[in-house]
Amino acid sequence: MTETETDPLIATARELLSARLVARTWGNLSRRLSPESYLITPSGRDYTEMAPNDLVEVTFDGDWIGDLKPSGERGLHTTIYRERGDAKFIIHTHQPYASALSLGGDLDLPSDLAARVGSSVLPVAEYGLPSTRKLHQAVADAMWHTGSRAILMRAHGTVLFGEDPEELVDLAQSLEVFCAEVVTDLTGAETCGSVRRFVRDGFGLPPQVVHIFMRREDAGAVIGDDSPLLLEFRETGLPAYLDDYAQLIGLRAGKTFGTNLIFGRKAAYFLGADLAEAEAAREVSRKNALAAKVAASLGASPLPRLDSTIMRAVYRWKYSKLKDGG
């Protein structure tokens, strides 16, 4: 493959990014190469900059060939490929509404979706920290018990497998539409609001944004969002219900300046080194707010404090450096 050609993994990753089914470097994709090996996206690499030679070949024994480290969820991909000979392609997404519903139990599916996933329910795998055997085994158990080729991972995301990447992207989008309807009926979440974007050297900055830039020298950009979905948590704070929120924001966000989500009087503000990072914080926080509303309706709890602390530390010292080429 020449430098000008694009592997189907990369094309699919960018399609998922465009459809907002993944954000930043989260999620992962793979395609089977042989009965006991596959090609997978690398750990912490920006999908918009990924090249074919960044992809990593992994064997079922855990060995890999490539210049970069493969995704930490390669054990999950190995498990699925071993158990399902019909799996030729795997995508792991962090789609918002499906992730929010992962805090509940198995979801009964309408007949058309049931036929597509091969199960009458969309199963929820029990919780495990990202990249751990506990999580991978939980997904395997859900797969074995239901036969579904789409599985929600509690507080994490969705994994789907099949023979064709385009069909999987379409299936992921169809599931997201279904999950959005369920979340809206369950919570009545109001997601609309105005969004304003600011950079440190911009003109006419509002006083609240000026104050944020003064307090946070590491922030090069701020995004303000006044949607009711977010402002509902202005007084109580927004704890971590989802893994990627724990990684990017932390255990809880409130009115203090220590996280990349700060609640102001009339808007929630998201911080980043640039607008792309601030937007990632916004997307993850909005998804976590949806999860919080689902949790309130179903009686689910936030992530354990220790788990959130571990994930935040791993992200800060590992994945963010990988994205920056460190």
Could you tell me how far CA 262 lies from the centroid of its own chain?
Answer: 21
Contacts of 170 (CB under 8 A, 6+ apart): none
Answer whether 162's CB lies under 8 Å from 117's CB: no
Per-residue b or e along 295-314, where b marks 16 or more CB atoms closer than 10 Å to that residue's CB:
beeeebebbeeebbeebbeb
Q: What is the pLDDT of residue 323?
A: 52
Confidence of residue 25 (pLDDT cuts 50, 70, 90): confident
Specify the higher pLDDT residue, 323 or 313.
313
With 50 as the cut, is the pLDDT of residue 2 above it?
no
Mean pLDDT of 156-171: 97
- According to CATH, what is the number of the domain 8-187? 3.40.225.10
Token pair belonging to 14: 């960018």
Which CATH number, 3.40.190.10, 3.40.225.10, 3.40.50.300, 3.40.50.620, labels domain 195-323? 3.40.225.10
3 state SS of 80: helix
What is the number of other CB atoms lying within 10 angstroms of the CB of residue 63? 9
Q: Are 8-187 and 195-323 equal in CATH topology? A: yes
Domain ranges for the chain, please list them: 8-187, 195-323
With a threshold of 0.85, does the pTM exceed it? yes
Return d(Cα 121, Cα 118) in angstroms, integer.
9
Specify the higher pLDDT residue, 57 or 43.
57
Return d(Cα 233, Cα 289) in angstroms, integer.
8
How confident is the model over 202-237, as pLDDT tens digits? 999 999 999 999 999 999 999 999 999 999 999 999
Return d(Cα 1, Cα 31) in angstroms, integer.
16
With 70 as the cut, is the pLDDT of residue 5 above it?
no
Answer whether 270's CB lies under 8 Å from 279's CB: yes
Mean pLDDT of 122-142: 96
Range list of H helices, the chain? 8-18, 74-83, 96-101, 111-117, 133-146, 165-187, 207-215, 228-231, 243-248, 275-298, 305-314, 320-323
Confidence of residue 319 (pLDDT cuts 50, 70, 90): low
